[in-house]
Amino acid sequence: MKPDSPDSPDLDHEAFLEMNRSPEFQKLKSSFRRFVLPMTVAFLAWYLLYVVLSAYARGFMGTKVVGEINVALVFGLLQFLSTFLIAWAYERYARRRLEPLAAAVGPAAPAGTEEEGK
Amino acid sequence: MTGTLAAPQLLAAPAENEHRVFSLILFAVFVALTLWITIWASRQTRTAADFYAGGRQFSAVQNGLAIGGDYMSAASFLGIAGMFALSGYDGFLYSIGFLVAWLVALLLVAEMLRNSGRFTMADVLAFRMRQRPVRAAAGISTIVVSIFYLLAQMVGAGALVALLLGAEGEAAKIWTIVVVGALMIFYVTVGGMKGTTWVQIVKAVLLMTGAAVMTVWILAKYGFNLSSLLGAAADASGKGDAFLKPGLKYGATDMWSKLDLLSLGLALVLGTAGLPHILIRFYTVPNSKAARASVNWAIGIIGVFYLMTLVIGFGAAALVGSKAVAAQDKGGNTAAVQVAEHLGGGPGSTGGAIFLAVIAAVAFATILAVVAGLTLASSSSFAHDLFANVFKRGQASERDEVRMARIAALVIGAVAIVLSIFARGLNVAFLVALAFAVAASANLPTLLFSLFWKRFNTVGAVAGIYGGLVSAVALVMCSSIAWGGKSATLPKGNPDALFSETIVAPFPMQNPGLISIPLGFLCAYLGTVLSKERTDDKYAELEVRALTGKGAH
């Protein structure tokens, strides 16, 4: 291992490979990806929709909703709201689901579990 | 109440000296406080982890504030408020991009970077690759992005502080640049990450407090009714309803101008998670859970801040008037301080002078905290990536590395001062957008592929970084920022162009992101599949480290 790569006194490369093969880790990985990848696609699409409408649908964006408040402003404020909500949802998911799964991955897993993970 | 009657006298008349004295006193207090913090921090800085990562002992709230202090630049405070004041709604397009971008950092980058890296972005990029080529590329890209951003801040600081203090002439600008540069060098070389972080925390608290007072005050003037504020802003702007719709700033209706807006939006949303000075902040907390929590704090702080700039900017349009703002500074950068003066009682009043001075001092603090973060990121990367791993092939001692980081901060700071002095007459606002575009085109593709794509390898990483970096910079050098000739896209031409006012730009957009970001991903992909190297085993280890935090520093 290169001198500058993160070194760990108690774990060698083989131990990491073994953990990677364990079903606990595979479950953690798929749970993580199942949340973040679709969510990323969703918020990027939602944001790009906002930018595209701002560029190409200015008439629609200028429609007044209430008083001086128009669709463009509401759409913009919804971007703030969705950002806050996604951050909150991820925090909740990470605490409830990902952290326990991550804690279950370990070099000291019971003998039986390692058999299952090939 | 129109406000337009009084405002043109801003910074003139009897209050002139009064507010300058207040401003100078407040600047001096802030500088004294930060110097004290820096010296205190230097006594706590012993190891490399102290210097680069503040000892990894900051709490999530502290780091959240520091991220805010690092991220909310003068461009976001003064620039976005000014954009609202002059171009109405279009300021929102910037601030929303700057905020939504944090979700990329939260979901895809922050925790995994904290778990698998040590001090720099390149630690993660180079983890499973051949160290030298990848660290060289990542180090160069880090330094380029940071210097672009740094120049924009320092040139802006020179113009702004000179304007706020009412000091005329080039000497005042040059001196401001030198003082700002000297302070940032001191913060970084003496205080390292600890000193820099505390400067950023203090700045974030000052900025949020100042902005909150202004926001509540402005809203109170309109009975806490957003609709009346917007109506008053639209009336006072002289542009009516158009002021509240997208399009005043990015309004041209031809194809390229619209694509240019998309291109900007893409760079803003994808750039943040590739900005080295932001990424190194994730290393200052004890673990990935704290890194995640600090990003959540940052999202809250930054989100609230951008909502406040909306009120401040429209407040400036309503109370001071767009014309009076543009008369003071054609880019609108003084809108926030002008509205502060108005709230305090208007030009000529002591209250106006005091509040103007307070907000001017906050703006000064804002600039200092950001330039310190940028200098730290670039000098860390120079010492840890280029010096220790590329030149010394990993054989440098920790002491040598930190000494080199301090020297690098001095040199980079000095270079930035000299470049800023030469660039002070140029319109360098484009450099912020360019820094985001390079971060999104060169750093983000490589970072994401490193973390999520098993097949990724050295050639791919190197190709992605250089491909994104070179294409983003080259496209801007071919755009109307550099060549200001009149064309169908740019009927009036660009008199501020860097190279020529008559030659027509070969590239019709000012923002390269729409082309350079996909190109960065494409280069990283092609480089990978054209090279036989496979890093599957190292990737398996990286995955476990990144997701579980095992073996993390």
Cβ distance A72 to B244 under 8 Å?
A: yes
Interface-testing mutation among A30, A83, A85, A101, with chain B (most B C-beta atoms within 10 A) = A83
Q: Which two tokens stand for residue B161?
A: 């502080």
> Would the pLDDT of B164 be above 80?
no
Q: Is the pLDDT of residue A73 over 80?
A: yes
For B54: left if phi > 0, alpha if psi spans -120 to 50, otherwise beta; the answer is left
pLDDT at B187: 96
Per-residue pLDDT averaged across B301-305, rounded?
A: 97
CB-closest option in B100, B261, B289 to A47: B100
> Comparing C-alpha atoms, which of B350, B213, B264, B235 is closest to residue B90?
B264
Plot region of B494 (φ>0 → left; ψ -120 to 50 → alpha; else → beta): beta
pLDDT band at B407 (very low <50, low <70, confident <90, very high): very high
**Contact indicator for B82, B332 with CB cutoff of 8 Å:** yes
Looking at residue B5, its pLDDT comes to 35
Cα separation, B134 vs B115, whole angstroms: 19
Query: For residue range B222-251, what is the model confidence (pLDDT) as tens digits?
Result: 999 999 999 999 999 988 889 999 888 876
Lowest mean pLDDT, pick from B19-23, B141-145, B202-206:
B19-23
Distance from chain centroid for Cα B356 = 24
- B244/A29 Cβ within 8 A: no
Residue A69's DSSP bridge partners are: A66
pLDDT at position A106 is 80
- Residue B271's pLDDT band (cuts 50, 70, 90): very high
Residue B500, beta-bridge partner list: B483
The pLDDT tens digits for B472-528 are 999 999 998 889 888 877 788 888 888 888 889 999 999 999 999 999 999 999 999
Best of A80, A84, A99, A101 to substitute, by most chain B Cβ atoms within 10 angstroms, is A80
pTM of the model as a whole = 0.92
Q: How far is B330 from chain A (nearest CA, A)?
A: 24
Are the C-beta atoms of B390 and B138 separated by less than 8 Å? Answer: no
Residue of B nearest to A99 (CA): B548
Contacts of B360 by beta carbon, 8 Å cutoff, 6+ apart? B19, B23, B26, B161, B164, B337
3-class DSSP assignment, residue B332: coil
Residue B144 neighbours by CB under 8 Å, 6+ apart: B438, B469, B473
Do B118 and A6 count as a contact with CB atoms less than 8 A apart?
Answer: yes
When scoring A16, A36, A60 by the number of chain B Cβ atoms within 10 A, the one with the most, hence best to mutate, is A16
Tell me how far CA of residue B27 lies from CA of B24, B35, B209, B420, in angstroms: 5, 12, 17, 21
Half-sphere exposure of A101 (CA within 13 A, CB side): 19
List the structure tokens of A33.
Answer: 């990806």
pLDDT of residue A107: 67
User: How many Å lie between the alpha carbon of A52 and the closest alpha carbon of chain B?
Assistant: 7
Q: How far from A44 is each of A38, B49, B346, CA to CA, in Å? A: 10, 35, 43
Number of helices and strands in chain A (H, E): 6, 2
- Closest-CA residue of B relative to A65 is B227
Locate the chain B residue with the closest alpha carbon to A105: B548
**Per-residue pLDDT at A114 exceeds 70:** no
Interchain CB distance below 8 Å, A16 and B545 = yes
**In the prediction, which pLDDT does B420 show?**
93
Q: Which of B126, B261, B289 sits opposite A51 (nearest CB)?
A: B261
Q: Which of B86, B87, B91 is nearest to B76 (CA)?
A: B91
User: Which chain A residue is nearest to residue B245, measuring alpha carbons?
Assistant: A62
Query: Are the C-beta atoms of residues B110 and B291 closer than 8 Å to each other?
Result: yes
